[in-house]
Amino acid sequence: MTLNPYIFAAEIDGTPYLLPFGQGIADHLRGIRTNESGRLLWEGLCRGEDRPALLRRLCDFYEAGPEEEGILSEDLEGFLNLLKSHGLLKEDDAEKSFPSSSAFDFPCRFAQIGPLTLALRIPDAVFDPYFSAFELSREKALSPESADLCLEFFPGRPMRYTAGKILARNEEMLIADTVEDYLFLPRQGDYVHELRVSKDASQAFLFGQFRESEKACPEEIFHMIRFAFLMTAQQHDLCVVHSASLLHEGKALLFSGHSGAGKSTHTKLWQEQFHSPLLNGDLNLLGMEKGQPMCYGLPWCGTSEIYTVQNYPLGGVVFLRQAPFNRVSRLSPDQEALSLAQRMITPAWTREQAQKNLELAEILTAKIRVFQLECTKDPEAAEVMRRAIEG
């Protein structure tokens, strides 16, 4: 059982009450006038006691015998039901299971992205253009509960709102840590109201408007799903790096740098000069598989529209910097790991998350070659980089 965090116990002229504050007031929760038994049970609930412990608390207080235990048990259930009916208490399993259907009855379809399986109950107009290439066949489809991430889209706004500690915010998004989950509130866009992701990142609920006729709507929903995916990936020791990638000698080669550093320009030079297949124009999913660094296909690719469903061993990472010359250098091991961690878009809202990203960056960079390329936009830059890699 979980208490609503926006309720406090108070006394008014000696009479005990349970009253809302903060978000509880915003949610129009009603206060409850209670009695000595209610005060006693509320204290037990605040201590995390279950039903048997609460009943023992009542029996001990009233020195009740076995013949009176049944009456007190009924009183206990009546009090718990009163709290639940007023939104002050909910069972731990409530709102936790993956819903079997929504108001629009969107089908549950499955996608495989790298080692992760996704159960997505979203409009076909969102799934088909963005996830169909990753869709699992009927023979390989799992139950929603066995997927690494179960996400459902709900048309409309949530029945109730939650508040919490702000972890990060910018002009695009506000992210908060609530008692129950992580809350994402977009500050731009017209269709998505909010996204809730469970603390273990196994479930997500996305609330918004769905207008199939408006092209921006499916796109906005698709990009919002990415935030839930990033959290799930981190839970499975995976990270997403802001980078463009291509295939070289059977391995993925990533080019990363700050906005405007030229990752798209440089990979295009490789494609034109060496016919290197491009893998993803903006984001890459990295992880370890049987001791081998891997780069996994990812549907999110920025505005490049360049992505692959294939997975490849990770061969190396090149960090780009604009310069009036073309020069390749190596970084120290600590700078390699730090540079890779700084290019991740994987959550780093808490110290623990940031530390986990650093640890994964150290593991990856210890297994691959990492370069820094100071370069122009000339074709020579690609040739200089290729010679360094092959040398």
Which helix (H) or strand (E) is 128 found in, with range? helix 124-131
Q: Give the number of domains in the chain.
A: 3
Buried b (16+ CB within 10 A) or exposed e, 88-124: bbbeeeebeebeeeeeeebebbbbbbbbbbbbbbbbe
Buried b (16+ CB within 10 A) or exposed e, 1-25: bebbbbbeeeeeeeebebbbeebbe
Span 286-315, average pLDDT? 96
For residue 260, give the CATH number of its domain: 3.90.228.20
What does the pLDDT read at residue 104?
A: 56
Q: Is residue 100 part of a domain?
A: no
Q: What angle do CA 129, 133, 134 make, to 5 degrees?
A: 115
Same domain assignment for residues 254 and 213: no
Same domain assignment for residues 358 and 227: no
What does the pLDDT read at residue 105?
A: 72
Q: Is residue 299 part of a domain?
A: yes
What does the pLDDT read at residue 141?
A: 62
Same domain assignment for residues 257 and 160: no
What does the pLDDT read at residue 97?
A: 41
pLDDT(335) > 80: yes
Q: Which of 235, 270, 285 is the last residue of a domain?
A: 235
Contact indicator for 336, 370 with CB cutoff of 8 Å: yes
CA-nearest of 115, 117, 114 to 136 is 117
Rounded CA-CA distance 76/37 in Å is: 9
Span 304-314, average pLDDT? 96
Tokens matching residue 381 = 């830059």
Q: Is residue 98 part of a domain?
A: no
Tokens matching residue 61 = 């207080």
Residues in Cβ contact with 310 at an 8 Å cutoff, skipping those fewer than 6 apart? 279, 297
Same domain assignment for residues 250 and 375: yes
Burial of 290 (0-12, 13-18, 19+ CB in 10 A): exposed
pLDDT tens figures, 12-25: 888 999 998 888 88
Q: Is residue 103 part of a domain?
A: no
Rounded CA-CA distance 243/221 in Å is: 22
pTM of the full structure: 0.81
Q: Which of 181, 206, 235 is the last residue of a domain?
A: 235
Contact indicator for 312, 129 with CB cutoff of 8 Å: no
Q: Is residue 42 part of a domain?
A: yes
Same domain assignment for residues 229 and 248: no
CA-nearest of 209, 204, 222 to 130 is 222
Range ranked top by mean pLDDT from 99-103, 108-112, 140-144? 108-112
Contact indicator for 385, 375 with CB cutoff of 8 Å: yes
Percentage above 90 pLDDT, the chain: 74
Same domain assignment for residues 367 and 249: yes
Q: Is residue 225 part of a domain?
A: yes
Contact indicator for 137, 117 with CB cutoff of 8 Å: no
In the chain, the amino acid numbered 214 is E
Q: Is residue 353 part of a domain?
A: yes
What does the pLDDT read at residue 101?
A: 43
Same domain assignment for residues 152 and 26: no
Same domain assignment for residues 342 and 228: no
Rounded CA-CA distance 56/92 in Å is: 21
What does the pLDDT read at residue 365?
A: 97
Same domain assignment for residues 381 and 257: yes
Reported as a pLDDT band with limits 50, 70 and 90, residue 89 is confident
Same domain assignment for residues 192 and 261: no
Q: DSSP characters for 10-40?
A: EEETTEEEEEE-THHHHTTPPPEE--HHHHH
CA 314 and chain centroid, separation: 24
Give me Rg for the CA atoms of the chain. 26
The answer to which of 205-219, 221-235, 368-382 has the lowest mean pLDDT is 205-219
Same domain assignment for residues 255 and 353: yes
Same domain assignment for residues 154 and 82: no
Q: Tell me the pLDDT of the chain averaged across its residues.
A: 91
Rounded CA-CA distance 59/73 in Å is: 9
What does the pLDDT read at residue 56?
A: 92
What does the pLDDT read at residue 43?
A: 92
What does the pLDDT read at residue 179?
A: 83
Residues in Cβ contact with 93 at an 8 Å cutoff, skipping those fewer than 6 apart? none
What does the pLDDT read at residue 244?
A: 96
Rounded CA-CA distance 370/104 in Å is: 48
pLDDT(98) > 90: no
Contact indicator for 227, 195 with CB cutoff of 8 Å: yes
Direct distance between the N- and C-terminal alpha carbons of the chain, in angstroms, rounded to an integer: 62
Host domain of residue 298: 239-390
Q: Is residue 188 part of a domain?
A: yes
Rounded CA-CA distance 349/212 in Å is: 34
pLDDT tens figures, 45-61: 999 899 999 999 999 99
Reported as a pLDDT band with limits 50, 70 and 90, residue 100 is very low
